[in-house]
Amino acid sequence: MAQTMIDKNRVLIFDTTLRDGEQSPGATMTHDEKLEIADLLDEMGVDIIEAGFPIASEGDFEAVSDIAKRAKFSTICGLARAKLPDIDRCWEAVQHAKSPRIHTFIGTSPLHRAIPNLTMDEMADVIHETVSHARNLCDNVQWSPMDATRTEHDYLCRVVEIAIKAGATTINIPDTVGYTAPTESADLIRMLLERVPGADEIIFATHCHNDLGMATANALAAVDAGARQIECTINGLGERAGNTALEEVVMAMKVRQDIMPYQTHIDTTKIMNISRRVAQVSGFPVQFNKAIVGKNAFLHESGIHQDGVLKNVETFEIMKPADIGLNEANIAMGKHSGRAALRAKLKDLGYELGDNQLKDVFVRFKALADRKKEIYDEDLIALMTDSAANTADDYLQVKWLRVVCGSDGQEAELKMLVDGEEKSSKCQGDGPVDAVFNCVKEIYPTQAKLKLYQVHAVTEGTDAQATVSVRLEEDGRIGTGAASDTDTILASVKAYVGALNRLRFRSQKTAPDADVKTVSYKL
């Protein structure tokens, strides 16, 4: 067996934020962002990182191969359809890793078999050929029967057996459309372990989607039945309702060791930091009441709860904020705080800055402190998001803005840099945001359609910063932008311009999002 034998209660964590997560329309990450997230996953102890889909685009290939070269602990995996050129390209990208893996898949349910129009026997041959080919290249091969939970059981057993005989070392059982339920998820793994010859020689993985809100429960039920790899994403990022959330399964197993006595290698104190970074770079904010990493997950608003927590923290808290790396003492900073204090505070929040970066962030911090008396952790996180999303190297940059608004109408005047050249515009609109966006469109004509415009207050009070998220779509490509400021209109225009910069970058680097999706679901 190619895989090292592991403790029977050890559950491998397979993170697919950079593949299934990034595949979600709009969750685009730049090359550098992907490397940064991969580094964080590696440092937190993720066993396997699915770094991308190498044949999907040049950008995906480069990201997988660069991540493979730098990973220290994690196995690096790439996805490939059941096609020999896909598998070769995948191997080309992952081969540099200390521990590489090829993950190949094909849709085995009746609906998916109908797409390439293959009979059951023909598909079985394709599986044998492609898994054998992958195994000839790499000792560590994962195979997935896509839509396994809607595949006939006899056929599923047959193809899993073929894949094992052809050399697969991990068999992943995807609930591609989030259709299964906990008892069924467990029964399926149990059935495969009982019926398939050689099943005890390989590792079964569970890969759940959250369409019915059961992804975490389904994954844990599969583990209870014998699966020893959970496929998941940070914040549950992923298409539609997303994938199983890494932080949920890992913390559930940690908190409920009494009924789930399984171990992972995850350093849970790194969860909060990576959750924030993924939210920032993907442009998908975490909902406030999200389990584990939501802003309210450890908040106790009601009097009864607060009283109980003060007397004995265990009355209403089943885990400690520090377990996920959440800093409890949210002590405000202000305009008298110095550079060293800022560096220390940011380090606490998970941001390690070099001297130059600190210099830039300190200038922004001082400007914010001039407008806002008390600066909380959330303000600093918003400031860091803003600094990462809108930089001095951007093709389009907002330089100056004036807006006049009131009951007589709205007018905006905007100055921007376009590739270093200053341009200005004056426009009216239906409200101040519309007027400013019209200015941008006059300066930089675009066909991009606004798909999302969202504002949320970072903290309480009328001097609170607003974080604005914008999602644009053009020619099947999605670009997202985010910006924070105490001035909501300024944050809006910066987020809009940020999204245009991302769209521009994407149109130079990648195939349209729609194509990537088709590639992943066609034989």
Which positions touch ligand KIV (CB under 6 A)?
A: 20, 105, 144, 146, 172, 174, 176, 207, 209
350: its two tokens: 């998970």
- Per-residue buried b or exposed e for 131-156, using 16+ beta carbons within 10 Å of the residue's own CB: bbbbbebbebbbbbbbbbbbbeeebb
Tell the smallest beta-carbon distance from residue 521 to ligand KIV (Å). 8
Residue number with the smallest Cβ distance to Zn ion:
20
- Could you say whether residue 20 binds Zn ion (CB under 5 A)? yes
Provide the 3-class DSSP secondary structure of residue 117: coil
Count of positions (residues) in the chain: 523
Tell the smallest beta-carbon distance from residue 174 to ligand KIV (Å). 3
- Could you say whether residue 15 binds Zn ion (CB under 5 A)? no
Tell the smallest beta-carbon distance from residue 404 to ligand KIV (Å). 50
Phi/psi at 427 (5° precision): -140, 160
In the chain, the amino acid numbered 478 is I
Tell the smallest beta-carbon distance from residue 176 to ligand KIV (Å). 3
- In the bound state with ligand KIV, the residue whose beta carbon lies nearer, of 107 and 350, is 107
Tell the smallest beta-carbon distance from residue 249 to ligand KIV (Å). 16
- In the bound state with ligand KIV, the residue whose beta carbon lies nearer, of 176 and 480, is 176
Those residues with Cβ within 8 angstroms of residue 267's Cβ, 6 or more apart along the chain or in another chain: 43, 44, 45
In the chain, the amino acid numbered 136 is N
- In the bound state with ligand KIV, the residue whose beta carbon lies nearer, of 145 and 283, is 145
- In the bound state with ligand KIV, the residue whose beta carbon lies nearer, of 184 and 317, is 184
- In the bound state with ligand KIV, the residue whose beta carbon lies nearer, of 82 and 358, is 82
Among ligand KIV, Zn ion, none, partner that 146 touches (CB below 5 to 8 angstroms by kind): ligand KIV
- In the bound state with ligand KIV, the residue whose beta carbon lies nearer, of 54 and 429, is 54
Phi/psi at 404 (5° precision): -115, 125
Among the candidate windows 12-20, 177-185, 293-301, 366-374, which touches Zn ion by CB under 5 A? 12-20
Beta bridge partners of 208: 175
In whole angstroms, what is the distance from residue 280 CA to residue 269 CA? 19
Tell the smallest beta-carbon distance from residue 102 to ligand KIV (Å). 13
3: its two tokens: 């895989």
Provide the 3-class DSSP secondary structure of residue 19: helix
CB 242 within 8 A of CB 278: no
Provide the 3-class DSSP secondary structure of residue 177: coil
25: its two tokens: 């329309």
In the chain, the amino acid numbered 521 is Y
Tell the smallest beta-carbon distance from residue 175 to ligand KIV (Å). 7
- In the bound state with ligand KIV, the residue whose beta carbon lies nearer, of 20 and 60, is 20
Among the candidate windows 15-23, 28-36, 371-379, 450-458, which touches Zn ion by CB under 5 A? 15-23
- Could you say whether residue 50 binds Zn ion (CB under 5 A)? no
Q: What residue ranges bind Zn ion (CB under 5 A)?
A: 20
